[in-house]
Structure formats: structure tokens, C-alpha cells
């Protein structure tokens, strides 16, 4: 007897090899795995479940006005991307680092992709990506995969969470999406108790549970105007500190302040054409590094401690290279 996995493969191959639309009757007659003794209603229920499974796996199955089906190759398969030997080797090197990283949630999928990148180019072993010390990332990969599946299915989740101040709290949320920064993953979700969208560090999540009730029915839908980019903060807005910085942009760099203020903070223009940008931060060291990286023309005005530390660091660098 054909098991469910084999039946799904048979169905996928049949749809992929068909030149046009096929009927449910053709599927029942030609695809191995649908019992001949099964009544029509039972077959149709099984067929619907199988189509849903294939669609969730990325196969774009479409139907016409007559209720026939076919596999949309354009919507299912990626277009061919020609790569040079050097590009292929570079891609394998980067991908191998992620595939060997225990915190990366899609390692198995990535290894399958690497198999397709066959090349004779020699590539050195890639170092695994270093985890950041401020968060524990042991369960991050597994949790990211679970949250990704929950977001795709529209299922609510709940978990225990420890914030940057060490406070423990239980949250019930609707997962909208995730992003990664410096090796750490973040969940953007609507907290159902607070009725607002918040960002959670996945590494700080424990006891994660996905709502198992009515698995085929979504619990929520993501708002049409939701864009995850609006919730991705600046590099220095991740950490355990709490502070407000004022950064002065010289007249020649004033345009940058307006661009950054679109992401976070507010600006005030001075009489000489310079702009002062007031912004919240959670990592003072990252603020100093960010100011240097985005200079010249940027100086920290407040807090004085942050400005003093940056001045000392710049003096140390200048002496070392004098």
C-alpha cells in the first residue's frame, strides 16, 4: 500500500509532467496511492488535503473555471541564474557557514540547495558564525523554524520571555514575521494582551507552544499595510542599556540625519545648518562605532559620557597609527 509521502510525490510528478489541465478523475485513475475502493467524497477530501500539502511545500497548483488542475511552473520553479565558477565557489563558502551553524533554523533546506551547486572549484572550510554573548542562542534555530511555520499558517503562539532587564513574562502573540541581525533572530508579532505590535529576541524565548487547535484554519491574518522593515531598528538599538543620544550632523552631512530620522528619533536644525538627531539607544559601544562608520561630520553631543569615551577611543587609534 502506498503511504502518504509516496502518494504526494506521485501527485507532484503527475502534475509536473502533465502538459495541460487535468481533472480530479484523471488524478484518481492515474496517480498511484488513491485506493480504488474509496468512495468519491473520501477521495475528494484526500485530494484536497494533498493539494494543500503540496502548496505548503511551495508547489503552485492552479485551477481553471472547469475545476481542472495543473502545476504552474513559473510560480513553482525559480528561474535559472547563471553563475561563474568563482561566484559558485563564493556562494558555497557562505552557505556552508550557515549550514554548519547550530543557530541557523533552515540548515537542512540549505544543505539540499548546496547539493545543487555542484562545482569543481576548491573552497576552504567555512568557519561557523559566532554567536553573540549577550543572548543564549542554543534553541534559536528550532524556535525560528517553529515561528516561521506558525506565521505561514496564521497560528497564534505563546511563550515565556526574559527581556533585556531580566524580567520574566508569558506572552501570547500573533507572529507576523522575523528578521535577523548580527546572527540573532527577532520576531515581530502582535501581543494579544497588549493589543500592539512588538519585537522579541528569539534567543530570549522559551517554552514556545504553537496553537494546535484547528491546524488547517488560521487564527489571524496579517494586516495588509504591515511591513516588517518598519520594525527593524538601527544597529545600536539592540542590547540591555537604556539611553538617549544626541548626534550632531555637520551641514555637509545634515541630509543623512533626515534619512535616519525616518527610521527612528527626531531632528532639530541649528542656525549654522547643522542638524541634531535625538535617538534612543540600547548599546553605547554600538553608538560610538556607528558614528565613526557613518562619518565624517558626525559627533556625539549627549550624553557626555558617550562623547568622552568616543574621544578617548579615537585618541588611542590615532596614537597607535601615528
Contacts of 51 (CB under 8 A, 6+ apart): 61, 69
Residue-level pLDDT at 24: 92
Residue 101 above 80 pLDDT? no
Give me the CATH number covering residue 289: 3.30.70.240
pTM of the model: 0.52
Cell of 54: 503540496
Per the domain annotation, does 312 fall within a domain?
Answer: yes
Residue-level pLDDT at 44: 92
Per the domain annotation, does 70 fall within a domain?
Answer: yes
Residue-level pLDDT at 190: 95
Per the domain annotation, does 122 fall within a domain?
Answer: no
Residue 121 above 60 pLDDT? no
- Residues 249-264 have a mean pLDDT of 86
Per the domain annotation, does 93 fall within a domain?
Answer: no
Per the domain annotation, does 107 fall within a domain?
Answer: no
Residue 210 above 80 pLDDT? yes
Residue 309 above 70 pLDDT? yes
Residue 104 above 80 pLDDT? no
Residues 207 and 152 in one domain: yes
Residue-level pLDDT at 56: 86
Domain closes at, from 173, 202, 232? 232
Residue bearing the bigger pLDDT, 122 or 144: 144
Report how far apart, in Å, the C-alpha atoms of 46 and of each of 31, 49, 54, 207, 286 are: 13, 5, 12, 34, 55
Rg over CA atoms, the chain: 26
Amino acid at each position: 500500500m502506498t503511504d502518504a509521502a509516496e502518494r504526494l510525490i506521485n501527485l507532484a510528478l503527475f502534475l509536473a509532467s502533465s502538459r495541460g489541465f487535468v481533472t480530479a478523475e484523471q488524478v484518481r485513475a492515474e496517480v498511484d496511492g488513491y485506493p480504488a475502493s474509496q468512495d468519491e467524497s473520501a477521495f475528494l477530501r484526500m485530494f484536497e488535503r494533498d493539494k494543500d500539502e503540496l502548496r505548503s511545500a511551495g508547489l503552485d497548483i492552479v485551477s481553471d473555471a472547469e475545476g481542472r488542475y495543473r502545476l504552474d511552473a513559473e510560480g513553482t520553479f525559480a528561474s535559472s541564474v547563471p553563475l561563474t565558477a568563482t561566484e559558485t565557489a563564493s556562494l558555497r563558502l557562505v552557505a556552508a557557514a550557515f549550514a554548519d551553524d547550530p543557530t541557523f533554523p533552515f540548515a537542512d533546506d540549505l544543505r539540499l540547495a548546496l547539493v545543487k551547486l555542484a562545482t569543481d572549484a576548491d573552497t576552504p572550510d567555512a568557519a561557523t558564525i559566532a554567536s553573540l554573548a549577550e543572548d543564549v542562542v542554543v534553541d534559536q534555530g528550532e524556535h525560528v523554524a517553529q515561528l516561521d511555520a506558525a506565521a505561514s499558517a496564521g497560528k497564534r503562539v505563546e511563550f515565556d520571555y526574559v527581556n533585556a532587564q531580566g524580567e520574566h513574562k508569558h506572552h501570547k502573540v500573533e507572529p507576523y514575521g522575523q528578521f535577523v541581525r548580527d546572527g540573532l533572530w527577532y520576531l515581530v508579532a502582535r501581543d494579544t494582551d497588549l493589543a500592539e505590535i512588538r519585537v522579541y529576541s528569539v534567543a530570549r524565548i522559551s517554552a514556545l507552544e504553537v496553537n494546535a487547535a484547528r491546524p488547517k484554519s488560521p487564527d489571524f491574518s496579517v494586516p495588509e499595510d504591515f511591513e516588517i522593515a518598519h520594525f527593524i531598528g538601527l544597529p545600536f538599538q539592540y542590547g540591555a542599556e537604556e539611553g538617549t543620544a544626541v548626534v550632531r550632523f555637520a551641514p555637509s552631512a545634515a541630509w543623512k540625519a533626515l534619512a535616519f530620522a525616518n527610521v527612528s528619533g527626531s531632528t532639530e536644525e541649528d542656525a549654522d545648518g547643522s542638524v541634531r538627531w535625538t535617538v534612543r539607544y540600547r548599546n553605547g559601544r554600538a553608538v560610538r562605532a556607528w558614528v565613526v562608520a557613518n562619518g565624517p561630520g558626525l559627533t556625539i553631543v549627549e550624553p557626555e559620557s558617550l562623547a568622552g569615551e568616543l574621544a578617548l577611543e579615537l585618541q588611542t587609534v590615532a596614537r597607535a597609527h601615528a
